[in-house]
Chains A and B, each alone.
Chain A
Amino acid sequence: MLSLILAGALLYITFVYLKQQNARERRMEAQSDLPREQLLPHHYKSFVEVENKLWAATAEGARTAEWDTTQIKLRPAELHLAREYVQGLQKDFEVGNRIFAVVIGHSPEVKMLRQLEWQRIKIEFPYHTWRVWICLRLWMGQVSPGELRHLTEIVSTLAYEVRSLLNVFERGGNVDFVEYLVRKS
Chain B
Amino acid sequence: MGTALKLLLFALVLARRLYRRLPLFSLYVALVVADDFALRWTYHHFGYTSLAAKYEYWSSLGVVLVARALAVAELCWRGLRNSVWLIASRVLAILAFAILVYGMVEAAKNSSPAITFLLTVERSLDFGIAVILVALLRLGLRYEVWIGGIERRVLLGFSVFSTFQIVNNTFMKQWMMKYFSWWVSASVVSFEVAMLIWIAPLLRPLPPMTAPPTLLSEEESVSMLKQVLERMRRIAEEMKRIARSKWK
Contacts and interface: CB of A to CB of B under 8 A. Distances in A.
Interface in B60-89: 81-84, 86-87
Contacts of A18: 152, 156
B215 to A, nearest CB: 4
B155 A112 contact: no
Contacts of B159: 10-11, 14
B141 A165 contact: no
B242 to A, nearest CB: 8
B239 A157 contact: yes
Interface string B130-157: 1101100110111111110000100110
B224 interface: yes
A107 B134 contact: no
B210 to A, nearest CB: 14
Nearest to A180: B215
B206 to A, nearest CB: 16
A112 B141 contact: no
- B interface, over-half SS: helix
Nearest to B243: A153
A157 B169 CA distance: 49
B221 interface: yes
Interface of A: 3-4, 6-7, 9-11, 13-14, 16-18, 20-21, 24, 98, 101-110, 112-113, 115-116, 119, 122, 153, 157, 160-161, 164-165, 168-169, 172, 174, 176-177, 180, 185
Given A21-B146, A108-B82, A116-B225, 10 more contacts: A3-B167, A3-B170, A6-B134, A10-B130, A10-B134, A101-B142, A104-B143, A107-B83, A165-B232, A172-B220
User: Which are the 9 A-B pairs with shortest beta-carbon distances?
Assistant: A105-B143, A177-B215, A113-B83, A14-B159, A7-B166, A3-B170, A13-B137, A101-B144, A17-B137
Interface of B: 81-84, 86-87, 127, 130-131, 133-134, 137-138, 140-147, 152, 155-156, 159-160, 162-163, 166-167, 169-170, 213, 215-216, 218, 220-229, 231-233, 235-236, 239
